Structure 1
Amino acid sequence: MDICAVSAAELSRRMASATWTARAVMEAYLDRIATVNPGLNAIISLRPAADLLAEADAADRSPRRGWLHGMPLAVKDVVATKGLRTTYGSPLHADFVPEADDLIAARMRATGAIFIGKTNTPEWGHGSHSYNPVQGVTRNPYDPTRTAGGSSGGAAAALAARLVPVADGSDTMGSLRNPAAFCNVYGFRPTWGLVPQDAVGDTFINTITTDGPMARSPEDIAHFLEILAGPYPETPLGRAAEAYSSLLDTDIKGKRIGWLGDWDGAYPVEDGIQYLCRTALSVFEDLGARVEPIQAPLPAEELWESWTVLRSAINAHAKRDLLEDPEKRALTKPETLWEIETGLTRTTADLFRASEIRSRWYAAAARLFDRFDALALPSAQVWPFPTDWTWPRDVAGRQMDSYHRWMEIVIPVSLIGLPCLSIPAGFGANSLPMGVQLFGPTGSDARILAMGHAYHRATDWPSQRPPVL
């Protein structure tokens, strides 16, 4: 049996029963990485094999610490990892080796994970195409001439190519969902606050960014979420975790899903994407659920206004030094500088109006969830695009007015911190993958994962191995 092909849940079970040793697992993954990763550049800063095998041997000799015990993991390169180079995709940190783990890395280590390296990301995580001047570009396993998405593009590509069993990601503007769709895997953005942030800088204002799990099945996501989630006493607004992996087997007969499509034409979407996504939702109908088209509850332009004000203001004041220090400015990409410059123009009136808009959207969404168990949107507006692009300049004939406008379809979820699972929708006529966002009300993480689990058992799209394998 191919060790790298089994689910993380099965891998953990076999390692717990000593059917497979941590050394055997590490050897299998290092062989796969050596063969496949050079053509993808998904995993970066790979540690020496001798060191990793020694850690695997130590894991085999030690008591089992948790679900990840002895598993090889690569951590997203915007997460600090003790003793392991963390670049943030920026030349300013090309040689940075942290002295401590960020919180989610510490939680992974505490349950026995062995960090083999990092997964690639755009510079500062800005944009949904994983390229940067330090580590280069990550390619899509289903077509290496195309992007793997971002900012968790390295994680998604590594999962699809079976280079890691599960992966962490982070999501401000679809960074767990867009690359999952592009790479035919699952990405889960949890309810905001369920996976806590580090007690560094602002921990109250920024409620649009969260870490979360990615995997090739909702079961693996559920197990991994149990490790990442749960309150952290040094940060506010935390939420208690649940035993997600034990709540997956739920009958979805009678569940109602509201299909938002292209938000009444507000979001330009490339040909074939809506059809593929709506076809994927018909699987839920086959399982006894109802899928109904619904009208957009708020004007998309209002959501965009709220989003861009909040996002730019947060970036401006968290990263202001990149603009004001001439040496740092010279080594920072234009899109990040644009975010900062734009954010510095925001007034308190702008911020109040942005908050008022998202408050109205939260209330409108709550009313929709009185009628529906989940809502659905495409996970992306474009198919995976060529790796030599920086970002799509037009979508379906409509010009994009910023580097991130082409990702607008993800902001209804991000703006109000809802739990959302990007599920694989299959492949288009171009043989490229796509996904669907399935999202629910605050705190409905277990419900959304259970619905995704039922869908996965009926489809298992990730089992369609990419050509690189």
Structure 2
Amino acid sequence: MINLNATATDILRGIREGRTKAADLMAATFDRIEAANPGVNALVSVLDREDALELAHQADQTEPVGPLHGLPIAVKDLANAAGFVTTMGSPLFASAKAAKTDDIMVARMRDAGAIVIGKTNTPEFGLGSHTTNPVFGPTRNPWDVSSTAGGSSGGAAVALATGMLALADGSDMMGSLRNPAGWTGTYGLRPSFGAVPSEPHADSFLPQLSTNGPMARNPKDLALLLSVQAGRDPRQPHHTPLDQAGPSRPLRIGWLADWEGAFPMESGILDVCSDAIVALDALGHEIVPLSPGFAADALWDSWITLRSWQVATSLAPLEALPNGRAHLNRQAIWELDRGKAMLALEVHKASVTRSQWFAQAARLFEQVDVLALPTAQCWPFDVDMDWPKEIAGQSMDTYHRWMEVVVPASLIGLPALAVPAGFGSHGLPMGLQLIGPRGSDFRLLQMAEAYHTAVDWTSKRPDV
């Protein structure tokens, strides 16, 4: 019997060594999807079972073509995968034709032997950290199906947590690989900007807030998928090489907690994350309470300016479609209207703040090797809510202010790894962000692998 909760590394080793048939793995995967997906709604646009089995039989009849040979995978429904509709969770595209080509990252996974069997659910246009949309509905947290799984890679995280997938891709502008990982007890890595090439759109210099990346149930599997996704591509020449060397000594970890009180946190989050910090300390790393030396409000002002400006450039063509604006949700309209109204000098001012934070972060990395923050400021909220309006008595003034804790890494393209931190008194998971200098992705993963094997909460799986 195939253990779908085994590591992707072990499953793939079984296929390479002939102990596991890709067709048997596919059959077990579809059994699991049929049992678990109706209750959580993580996978959408799933292939017909017989068609998927035929692809797996073909994989069994050929020599392995790459490190993911024979592994079922589903692609986040913001990326193009040939043969599948890319809906982006929007009614504008629900009836669109299937994509004819793969995006760069998807092509790399297919070239490595992965078998694409469907899409993972995402918020409409990927906006907000709550995976729900008018096309497919909400993705539910497997630890409590009345709660959100986060987003925008919520479908991917839930598919991993429930054993429907062993590896998953995602994307991260504002915590989309980190927040759902933290809320489902899985791992998500926002890579260094430029490590995983994005699509070659018209402008490649100015929009540098978002990146694709891997999700998994353990750091070793994250490293496997990152090695497939990352690397140069001449169509998108912005490239950040990744240092393959692991830590040769215990690391100094700067604990930023709640940014000196600037980030409101729900009760219990800092306690759970402090336990994870203690576990890292027990592994020999030095924990340093650290002052960020930078105003959170300045980061936020810079972020929402650059984000709205960037999001508006992608949404403006959709608004121009017949009845296009009528099909945009209020988050999209908020970003679109702000971005369209922006002056060039406002954008310049925001980028100056970003540059100042980049310089300050470099100074912090002269004192420590890693920065640490929670992955979220609140626990998973009710799946029927749109977003939290208040945290710890403080009003949230935008649809995404409650995700402010992810901005320090996103604003300047730093690698940020979400690791499971533990569980609150209500039994829901929380995660910890480990943030390093650009290019230090594999160092973070190697540190996390030791952590993964040392603490018991990283192996817990929901009973779904």
Q: Same fold (TM over 0.5)?
A: yes
Partner residue of 1:69? 69
Where do 1:286-301 residues align within 5 Å? 286-301=282-297
SS at match of 2:377: coil
Q: How does 1:153-172 map to 2 (within 5 A)?
A: 153-172=154-173
Contact 1:322 1:337 in 2 (8 A): no
Q: Does the 8 A contact of 1:420 with 1:437 survive in 2?
A: yes
User: Separation in 1 of the partners of 2:434 and 2:339?
Assistant: 31
Aligned letter for 2:448?
Answer: G
Letter in 2 for 1:14: G
Structure 2 CA distance, aligned partners of 1:183 and 1:320?
34
Q: Deviations over 1:364-406 (max 9, x none)?
A: 1111111101000000001001100011011111111100000
Alignment of 1:167-246 (within 5 A): 167-241=168-242
Q: Quick check: 1:135 aligned with 2:131?
A: no
Structure-1 separation of matches of 2:462 and 2:144: 8
- The one-letter code matched in structure 1 to 2:81 is T
Find out whether 1:308 has 2:304 as its counterpart. yes
State how far apart, in whole Å, the 1-side matches of 2:438 and 2:182 are.
23
Instruction: Tell me the equivalent position of 2:318.
Output: 322
1:151 alignment partner AA: S
One of 264, 281, 306 as aligned partner of 1:285? 281
Partner AA of 1:59 in structure 2: A
Residues 52-67 of structure 1: matches in 2 within 5 Å? 52-67=52-67
Report the residue type matching 1:235 in the other structure.
Q
Q: Who is 2:447 aligned against?
A: 451
Pairwise mapping of residues 8-407 of structure 1 onto structure 2 (< 5 A)? 8-96=8-96, 97-241=98-242, 250=247, 252-253=249-250, 255-325=251-321, 327-407=323-403
Aligned counterparts of 1:11 and 1:324: Cα–Cα separation in 2: 47
How far off its partner does 1:279 sit?
Answer: 1.0
Is the CA contact (8 Å cut-off) linking 1:3 and 1:25 kept in structure 2?
A: no
Report how many aligned residue pairs link the two structures: 463
CA distance in 2, matches of 1:241, 1:181: 24
**Residue 417 (structure 1) shift:** 0.3
Quote the offset at 1:137 in angstroms: 0.5
Q: Given the two structures, how large is their TM-score scaled by the length of structure 2?
A: 0.98
- The answer as to whether partners of 1:252 and 1:454 remain within 8 angstroms in 2 is no
Could you say what the CA RMSD is over the residues aligned between the two structures, in angstroms?
Answer: 1.2
Listed one character per residue, the Cα deviations across residues 45-65 of structure 1 (whole Å, up to 9, x for unaligned) are 110011000010000001101
Q: How far 1:200 moved relative to its partner? A: 2.2
- Note the C-alpha offset of 1:240: 3.2
Question: How far apart are 1:26 and its partner, in Å?
Answer: 0.4
| Matched AA of 1:3 | N
Q: 1:181 corresponds to which letter in structure 2? A: G
Q: CA deviation at 1:234?
A: 1.2
Distance 2:413 2:147 in 1: 30
- Say which SS state the counterpart of residue 169 (structure 2) adopts: strand
Q: Deviations over 1:152-205 (max 9, x none)?
A: 000000000010010000000000000000000000011000001111232211
Moved over 4 A (4+): none
SS in 2 for 1:194: coil
Return the offset for 1:236: 2.7
- Cα distance in structure 1, aligned partners of 2:234 and 2:318: 31
* Aligned AA (1:94): A
Shift of 1:425: 0.4
How far apart are 1:2 and its partner, in Å?
Answer: 4.2
Alignment check: 8 A CA contact 1:204 1:236 kept: no
Deviation at 1:460, TM superposition (A): 5.0
Partner Cα separation in structure 2 for residue 372 and residue 83 of structure 1: 46
TM-fit CA distance, 1:326: 5.3
3-state secondary structure, aligned to 1:355: helix
Q: Is the 8 A contact 2:315 2:336 kept in 1?
A: yes
Match 1:438 to one of 434, 438, 448: 434
- Stretches of structure 2 that go unaligned for 5 or more consecutive residues are none
Q: State which drifts further: 1-10 or 161-170.
A: 1-10
Please state how far the C-alpha of 1:125 moved relative to its aligned partner.
Answer: 0.2
Q: For the structure 1 residues 375 and 454, does the alpha-carbon distance in structure 2 shift closer, same or farther, using more than 3 Å as the test? A: same
TM-score (norm 1): 0.97
Shift of 1:251: 5.6
CA distance in 2, matches of 1:182, 1:168: 17
Q: Give the letter for the 1:17 counterpart.
A: E
Identical residues among aligned pairs (%): 48
